[in-house]
Structure 1
Amino acid sequence: MMRHQRLEHRFVEHIPERLKPGVHYVSMEYATSAHSCCCGCGEEVVTPFTPTDWKMTFDGETVSLRPSIGNWTLKCRSHYVIDRGKVIEAGPWSDEQVEAERRRDRAAKERFYGQSSKVGSPIQPAPIKPAPSIWHRMWTWISGRS
């Protein structure tokens, strides 16, 4: 059972250091979004917007993410879809399903980014501008720079 049945979206430039549960932060500038896991475990879930990762749609009122969010590396292993702000719980996946999806994801990145599938050949996705560190933001605030 998901603790959060809906997520209120907030368009922000930078994802905040602390995520408020039930809020879906969307940074168009950094092509990413983040929210506190909808199961209520409190873990941060980050979803980059790339041709091979997540797609975000905004219909003027609500935000949707595709594909589903499978938190396979988290203790909770939650799995859900965010559709027009609603959190829709999806079924659990076996370890075999998770590994098959990881293989599919690697293959999609290799096809899109034109990388060799040779062992040891790193896949280099398009760079995403990282959010400034907390220290950088504090220095900017202290020094009055924007």
Structure 2
Amino acid sequence: MLKIKKLEHRFIRSIPRELDVGVIYISMEYATAVHCCCCGCGEQVVTPFSPTDWKMIYDGESVSLTPSIGNWYSACRSHYIIKQDIIIEVGSWNDAQITAERKRDKLAKAHYYNPSAKPPNLEEEMKDTSRQLSRDLGVMGNLLGWLRNLIRKN
């Protein structure tokens, strides 16, 4: 359960040494945002902005970050989305999901920073992830696989 439900955004030049809970500090100069984990554990969460990391959207009143924030290296393993300064808790991931996402992220970065390299086969990566999730989820996994195949046919 997340303790922080909303963040106040502050645009700053450099990240302060001490972070206030409930505040997301955004440095456009360093293309990074930092905040205390919204579960309340106190861990600092760093979200660099780049084509292969996070994207920050400022609509003139609020801040959104995409994709979601998964604190897989922290003990809390919290997972949430920041949308218009509001924190939306999303489901926890299992180890297979985390491993698959780290692999996908690594491949995407390698391809982005070295476009002459053979592009990653993300479709095959997704199939592997889907197979692993099906094994992990049992009956629900079979249903997800069936839905995936149905969508592909249409």
Q: Given the two structures, how large is their TM-score scaled by the length of structure 2?
A: 0.74
1:28 to partner: Cα distance: 0.2
- The equivalent residue for 1:104 is 104
**Which amino acid counterpart does residue 112 of structure 1 have in structure 2?**
Y
Distance, in Å, in 2 between the alignment partners of 1:19 and 1:25 is 8
- The equivalent residue for 1:73 is 73
- The equivalent residue for 1:130 is none
**Which amino acid counterpart does residue 54 of structure 1 have in structure 2?**
W
**2:49 matches 1:49:** yes
**Which amino acid counterpart does residue 87 of structure 2 have in structure 1?**
V
Secondary structure of the residue aligned to 2:16 is: coil
Q: Deviations over 1:27-48 (max 9, x none)?
A: 0000000000000000000000
Q: CA RMSD in A?
A: 1.1
Distance, in Å, in 2 between the alignment partners of 1:25 and 1:9 is 6
**What runs of 5+ residues in structure 2 fail to find an aligned partner?**
119-154
What is the number of equivalent residue pairs in this alignment?
A: 117
1:112 to partner: Cα distance: 0.4
Distance, in Å, in 2 between the alignment partners of 1:101 and 1:38 is 21
1:111 to partner: Cα distance: 1.0
% identity of equivalent residues: 59
**Which amino acid counterpart does residue 114 of structure 2 have in structure 1?**
G
- The equivalent residue for 2:88 is 88
- Structure having the higher helix fraction is 2
Q: Runs ≥4 in structure 1, deviation > 2 angstroms? A: none
Q: Which has the higher contact order (CA 8 A, sep 6+)?
A: 1
Structure of greater Rg: 2
